Amino acid sequence: MSRTVIIILVLLMALPLAGGAAAGPDRSDFDPRLSGAVVNFAVRSTGSQYHHEEWLRGDVLLYSGEVVPNQELRYNGYRDALVWLHPETRRTIWVDEELVREFSLYDSRADRHMVFERFAPGRQSRAIYAERLFMNHIGLYVHRRVEQTGETTELRDNALRPVLTLEPRPVYYIVREGEAVVLARLNRRFLLNLFPDHRREVRSILRQNRLNVRNEYELVRAVVLIDAFLKDASGAF
């Protein structure tokens, strides 16, 4: 292929770009926008503040009903904050929680799509971001909380600086008829206590499916099965 042909090819392919630019203003002017506080400090810690250490792509649904699509996001479980990587300035922004109804994160490596929504565990409780693990007639949410479990110091720039010890401490909530109940521990007994009217049947379901409910995966499976049972057991559910 001669150089001249290549140049002509390049010019021909690039032509629509110039033509397209004249077709109208950028629609991004019309899209909703995220707001939040610029964070220009860092907390030194052992253990991560974040549910996912890397930035994930996701959409943000605002209380206005508008969607801000395809942003780089992270969830900070220590601050309970949605963190946004500003696309132009690359600054880290804590998105204004008062404006956000829910957001999604897509983990392409695990091919996992997560949805976090503003969730008030009780009528008097402050709303938190909780990941929606399951939602049908009953709902299962997890607050991906990261807690400070200790603090050490390190010498840095001739000064002693605090270093927090952070650990993930997720809290699970089961929502029935609009009421959220915290699952104090992940085990079979605590789950059975949430369904006193159907304790025997729920126990049977867990046994049949060999679910000890010791981890999140088993909890989700158990809730899905219980939801299906309760739906069958009560037409008015």
Partner 1 sequence: MKRFFLQFALLLALSGWMGSHVPAQVVPSDPGTREHILLHTDRDVYIAGEELLFSLYLVSGAPDPAHKSRFAYLALRNTDDLLEKVVVSLDNGSSHGAIYLHDTLSTGFYELVGFTNWMRNQGESSYFRKSLFIANRFDETLGAIQRPSSDYVGNPAGGEEGRGSSDEENRQAGISITAMPARAGQRSLVRLQLESALPAGETVHVSMSVAEAGAYFDDPQGWTDDAWQPVVPGQAASHAASPSYYMETRGPIISGFVRDAGGTDPLPGARVVLNTPDTLINMIYADADRHGGFHFVLNDFYYEKDIFLSVARTGDMPPASLSLSDKFRFEDPPAAPPLSLVWDKHEAIRRSQDILRARKAYGIQYLEGAAEGEEGTSPPPLIYGKSNLVYYTDHYVPMDDLWEISREVIQAWRSRQAARGSRHTLISGLTGNFIEGEPVFFLDGIMAEDPSPYMDLGSRELFKIEVHNLEWMHGGQFFPGIVGIFTREPGLHLDGLNGKYVRTRVEAPARPAAPISPSYGENAARQPAQPDLRQVLLWEPALEIRGGQVLEVPFYSGDLSGRYVVTVRGLRPDGIPVYAREVIYIQ
Binding site residues, partner 1, CB under 8 A: 1, 3, 6-7, 9-10, 13-17, 19-30, 32-41, 63-65, 86, 88-89, 91, 93, 96-99
Shortest CB 56 distance to partner 1, Å = 20
The owner of tokens 């969607």 is 67
Which residues make Cβ contacts (< 8 Å) with residue 184, sequence separation at least 6? 190
Could you tell me if 91 and 68 are in contact, meaning their C-beta atoms sit under 8 angstroms apart? no
User: What is the C-alpha to C-alpha distance for residues 237 and 226, in angstroms, rounded to an integer?
Assistant: 12
User: What is the C-alpha to C-alpha distance for residues 215 and 116, in angstroms, rounded to an integer?
Assistant: 20
Residue placing its CB nearer to partner 1 in the complex, 64 or 215:
64
Residue placing its CB nearer to partner 1 in the complex, 39 or 192:
39
Residue placing its CB nearer to partner 1 in the complex, 17 or 159:
17
Shortest CB 70 distance to partner 1, Å = 11
Shortest CB 237 distance to partner 1, Å = 33
Residue placing its CB nearer to partner 1 in the complex, 11 or 236:
11
Shortest CB 191 distance to partner 1, Å = 36
Residue placing its CB nearer to partner 1 in the complex, 14 or 110:
14
- Our measurement of the distance from residue 84's CA atom to the centroid of its chain's CA atoms, rounded to an integer in Å, reads 12
Shortest CB 66 distance to partner 1, Å = 9
Shortest CB 164 distance to partner 1, Å = 17
Identify the CA nearest to 144 among candidates 109, 176, 105: 105
Identify the CA nearest to 167 among candidates 183, 144, 187, 189: 144
Which residues make Cβ contacts (< 8 Å) with residue 35, sequence separation at least 6? 95, 96, 99
38-74 as b/e: b if 16+ CB within 10 A: ebeeeeebeebbbbbeebbebbbbbeeeebbeebebb
Q: Which helix (H) or strand (E) element contains residue 128?
A: strand 128-135
Residue placing its CB nearer to partner 1 in the complex, 98 or 177:
98
